[in-house]
Amino acid sequence: MKKNIILAMALSLPLAGFAQGNNTGMGGNDGDYESLAHRVFNLEKKTDAFNVYFNYASSFQEYDDGNAWTSSFKNKQARIEIKGNITDKLSYRFRHRLNKNNTAQSEDNFAKATDILLVGYQFTPKLGVQAGKMCQNWGGFEFDENPMYIYQYSDMVDYMDNFMAGVNVSYKPVPTQEIAVNITDAYNNKFADEYGAGATSLETNSVRHLESSNHPLTYIGLWAGSFLDGKLQTRWSYGIQTQAKHKYSRMIVLGQKLNLPKVQWYFDYMGAFDGLDRLRIASSEGSAFLGAGEYFSDVHYNSFITKLNWQFAPQWNLMLKGTYETASVTKVAEWKNYRKSMMYLASVEYYPVKSQDFRVFLAYLGRHYNYSDKVASYGLSDHSTNRIELGFMYRIKAF
């Protein structure tokens, strides 16, 4: 009894702090890892109704911005996650960032710090629904990974805003195939808070005053497939996001993964066709060309992402990752096909404790940005950056 009281007090500390103040891969590895409750108090877990994780990653970094090398210690990730299955039909999930703004946003009334807060109900083994704040159900395997395991996202995913309030309905006609329909808010904030009062967009030969949409929603369809006993997996999606009145963003994501016992490799394609620059990479880099409160229209982003994990020895993993991305303002001659970027990343990871999802890593990250000559007069020129990291990632299974 005394052990139970001590455990409850320990777990209540982070929960009280938060009171004051989705995807398959987004949770991370929940496998046969020993919990702190079992290790410290010898408590055997007999229910799946309450699971607590702390996702924590930190590193020492040497960074070169093209001018000089600088040094610093960085907190990369700090998230608490609580989830469980109350019955065989009813489930819940909560994930919260410890180093993010806790102010409620003007549209969904959730804080940016809250990634996920949802309730799920499984009507039948084939049909289920989730509602609350969730990760939008885009395809691709980089998008689906737990952020803790990501050293650096591609530009597209890095600039996406995808934790939104909404509903997700999933249907599995057979256990290896899932079809999901996801409807969420398009933004956490109201239109004026996202783009500013009096915002405009640059059209081909004119400037349009932007108006908020009456139905600022995102609609996504996802197919997740598994073949050859899980050795080949797919996550394909297509979605439309309402950005403003008569302005829409369309995105296609095609992810495929080879999943072998000691080698895992995926290749993702992401393509965004924005009636109004949703990612705002182009609009930010083109601020010297645009007027105050003005955004590009008809922006097209491409992203090609590949990642390899190879468990070359017991408790060791080699990770290699690369991206190639483009940005184009299709109807403005100076800014058409104006940007290309590449990322190359390698990491050696060591897992010192077999019973824990804990890894120590040494990583190198390089990025190169190439701009067309037409935008040189706006302060954009080719450059490269480099980063070396020594750190750890630890998905702590508290209970």
Q: Which two tokens stand for residue 387?
A: 């980063």
Top-confidence residue, 281 or 36 = 281
Residue 11 has pLDDT above 60, yes or no: no
Compute CA distances 361 → 59, 319, 366, 392, whole Å.
Answer: 9, 10, 16, 6
Query: CB 383: neighbour CB atoms within 10 A?
Result: 13
Rounded distance between C-alpha atoms, residue 276 and residue 216, angstroms: 13
Residue 227 sits in a domain of what CATH number? 2.40.160.10
- Report how far residue 370's alpha carbon sits from residue 358's, in angstroms, rounded to the nearest whole number: 37
State the pLDDT at residue 258: 97
Q: How many CB atoms lie within 10 A of CB 367?
A: 17
Q: Pull the structure tokens for residue 383.
A: 């450059």
pTM: 0.88
Rounded distance, CA 80 to CA 87, Å?
23
pLDDT band at 346 (very low <50, low <70, confident <90, very high): very high
Q: Coil, strand, or helix at residue 140?
A: coil
Terminus-to-terminus CA distance in the chain, angstroms? 17
State the total domains in the chain.
1
Domain that holds residue 101: 2-397
Average pLDDT over residues 130-152: 94
**Chain centre distance of CA 147:** 6
Q: Where are the beta strands (DSSP E) in the chain?
A: 51-64, 69-85, 90-97, 114-122, 127-135, 163-174, 177-185, 200-202, 207-209, 217-227, 232-244, 247-259, 263-276, 294-313, 316-329, 339-350, 357-371, 383-397
> Mean pLDDT over all residues of the chain?
89
pLDDT of amino acid 398: 83
pLDDT for residue 27: 64
Q: Please give the distance of CA 188 from its chain centroid, rounded to a whole number.
A: 15
pLDDT of residue 66: 84
Residue predicted with more confidence, 176 or 14: 176
59-94 pLDDT tens trace: 999 999 888 999 999 999 999 999 999 999 999 999
Q: CB within 8 A of 302, min separation 6: which ones?
A: 269, 270, 271, 325, 326
Better pLDDT: 314 or 15: 314
Contact by Cβ (8 Å): 395, 28: yes
| pLDDT average, residue stretch 375-389 | 95
Q: Is the dihedral of CA 188, 192, 196, 202 positive or negative?
A: positive
Asked whether the predicted pLDDT for residue 26 surpasses 90, the reply is no
Predicted local distance difference test score (pLDDT) of residue 38 = 60
Place of tokens 């008569």: 246
State the pLDDT at residue 32.
66
Does pLDDT of 30 surpass 80? no
CB-based contacts of 335, cutoff 8 Å, min separation 6: 282, 286, 289, 296, 328, 329, 374, 375
How large is the greatest C-alpha to C-alpha distance in the chain, in angstroms?
74
Is residue 193 pLDDT above 50, yes or no? yes
How confident is the model over 137-154, as a mean pLDDT?
94
Q: How big is the CA angle at 344 (ends 361 and 255), to the nearest 5 degrees? A: 95
Dihedral sign computed on CA atoms, order 61, 114, 395, 140: negative
Q: Which amino acid is at 82?
A: I
User: Residues 6 or more apart from 137 whose CB is under 8 A from it?
Assistant: 22, 23, 168, 180, 182, 220, 222, 237
